[in-house]
Amino acid sequence: MSDALTLPAEARERAGKGASRALRREGRVPAVIYGGKEEPTPIHVEEKLLVRQLGTGHFMNSIVMIELDGKAVRTIPKDVAFHPVNDRPQHVDFLRLSKDAKISVAIPVVFINEEASPGLKKGGVLNVVRHELELVCEADKIPSEIELDVTGLEVGDSVHISSVTLPEGSESAITDRDFTIATVVAPSALKRAEGAAAAAEGEEPQAEEAAEEEGGEEEGGE
């Protein structure tokens, strides 16, 4: 599990776009804590500290303890809005967590022991279908990543969710099918698949052009 992060905050006394712009000019980022059957709490946090935590790579999957008015509020980030030009954080939504809460999170997948896969050693390619897994986790047991061992996989073999042993306190959010996470494919098969996809994308424009040309000839004939 990712280590819990600590983020000092101050209460926001005023709401609205003007107040938010003023905070950003002062190096602060407006935010809100919601959920837990309590009223939303508007806050603001230091931009530099927030950016540093965003840079850890696991901010969205970490418990964040918001220090507010001498108390620590247990939360998890749910959304971060960024400026479309300079990518500076503009607003953050934090979900308040109860002790026994379960939450949906997207956890990155990491593949290990690729050198022990006969299919990959023969020149096969690991075609990753899902780079993240949608999981429902106990709030205090959120894994930072899911390791998938590809030892023994041959060309044509696939890794499905049913073959993955998830950490204690985690379960797949998708339960209606045994979805594929990755497949070992031959390079030629991968190229054929990419070629077919490219051809399919090019068919419609060509068909439209042909239809336009045909229509133009008919009009000219009249």
Residues 139-178 pLDDT 10s: 878 888 999 999 999 999 999 999 999 999 999 999 999 9
Same domain, 181 and 199: no
Statement: residue 199 has pLDDT above 90 = no
| Range 55-69 average pLDDT | 90
Q: What is the pLDDT of residue 64?
A: 93
Q: Which one has a higher pLDDT value, 89 or 204?
A: 89
Q: Which of 36, 67, 98 is the last residue of a domain?
A: 98
Q: Which of 98, 126, 145 is the last residue of a domain?
A: 98
Same domain, 202 and 130: no
Q: Which of 39, 74, 98 is the last residue of a domain?
A: 98
Statement: residue 38 has pLDDT above 90 = no
Domain count, the chain: 3
Residue-range definition of the domain harbouring residue 203: 190-222
Same domain, 22 and 77: yes
Same domain, 12 and 91: yes
Same domain, 65 and 131: no
Q: What is the pLDDT of residue 17?
A: 86
Written as one string, the DSSP assignment of 118-171 is HHHHTT-EEEES-SEEEEEEETT---S-EEEE-TTPPTT-EEEGGG--PPTTEE
Distance of alpha carbon 192 from alpha carbon 198, whole angstroms? 10
**Which tokens go with 86?**
């300079």
Least confident of 35-44, 69-78, 102-111, 197-206: 197-206
Same domain, 195 and 180: no
Q: What is the pTM of this model?
A: 0.66
Same domain, 117 and 82: no
